[in-house]
Amino acid sequence: MDAVDRIVEQWARQRPDLDTAPMELIGRMARVRNHMARAMDQTFAEFGLNAASFDLLATLLRAGPPHALSPTDLAAMMMITSGTMTNRIDQLVKTGLVERRKSPTDGRGFLICLTPEGMALIDRAVTAHVATQARLVAALDPDQRAALNAALSGLLIGFEGEGAGDGAGDGAGKGGDAGEDTAT
């Protein structure tokens, strides 16, 4: 009897015509994701980061040497708008974790590079993040994990299409929510 069960019960009384089985699934997934996001945020905070800045630094790290990407490429990979990208870069430049270099090939463009400090920080932060993630799924035994992963893959293929490009790129809503980093 969890919180989702209580909500489903209320609907059964108020609108017995509704089939709430999908709601159970989706509701639980939303709640699980919220708990996980909260836990991961704590790990980020230990390194003076939030999900947004962690995501940017991690994207640069896992891109491989020379750990430099254009704001446009970063925004595409992280599925955020260019304005948001500018803002995130500004903050990380202020804290000295990345730097803006002029693109050698395009006078309009920049390359966002990890500084040595940024490199060192994100390297440690990623290690801690992976440990946090391991802890978050520890409650599941291997069979359950495999089943969960298979079901999620099935859904994801349905949403994104088998071998589509990188981003879902639909176009999110505006204010407040919609995302909280999508990957890493």
The CB density around residue 31, as the number of other CB atoms within 10 Å, is 13
- Judged by CB under 8 A, the number of residues near a second copy is 82
Q: Binding to a second copy by residue 19, rule CB under 8 A?
A: yes
Residue number with CB closer to DNA (42 or 72)? 72
Q: Is 50 in the site for a second copy (CB under 8 A)?
A: yes
Candidate residues 38, 94, 105, 108; the one interacting with a second copy per rule CB under 8 A: 38
* Subset of residues 144 to 183 that bind DNA, contact rule: CB under 7 A: 171-179
Residue 69: φ, ψ to 5°: -140, 155
Of residues 80 through 109, those in contact with DNA by CB under 7 A are 80-89, 91, 100, 103, 106-109
Q: Closest separation between CB of residue 122 and DNA, Å?
A: 17
CB atoms under 10 Å from CB of 109, counted, come to 14
- As measured in angstroms, the least distance from the Cβ of 77 to a second copy is 9
At 161, list the tokens.
């299409």
d(CA 2, CA 51): 28
What x/- string results for residues 112 through 131 when contact with a second copy is judged by CB under 8 A?
-----------x--xx--x-
* DSSP characters over 92-149: HHHTTSEEEEE-SS-TT-EEEEE-HHHHHHHHHHHHHHHHHHHHHTTTS-HHHHHHHH
Residues binding DNA (CB under 7 A): 50, 52, 70-73, 79-89, 91, 100, 103, 106-110, 171-179
